[in-house]
Amino acid sequence: MEEAQKMGLTNVWLECDSALVCVVFTAKTYVHWMFHNRWNTCLNYSEKIKFKITHIFHEGNVCVDKLANLGFIHRESFY
């Protein structure tokens, strides 16, 4: 969401394999205090744009899964 805001996007569809993240966004529930400021920024941004969040199963997101695994294995050298 922060990257979308930096890019000035006004239509964002977020597909996430974390059901908890989807629930937090749709129910606008409390998040841990460490993330509170960033969460409020994302929530405010999502209310100003056309925003949709959907859950996708881990197996359905093969490309992102492979990139995440690659980043985890080489976390010292990848950004």
Here the tokens at position 9 are: 């996007």
pLDDT band at 25 (very low <50, low <70, confident <90, very high): confident
pTM for the full predicted model: 0.64
| Angle ∠(66,68,72) on CA atoms, nearest 5 | 115
What's the start-to-end Cα distance of the chain, in Å?
Answer: 17
The residues, ordered by sequence, that sit 6+ positions from 4 with a Cβ below 8 Å of its Cβ are 12, 45
pLDDT digits (tens, 9 = 90+) for 30-61: 788 888 898 889 999 999 999 999 988 766 66
pLDDT recorded at residue 6: 93
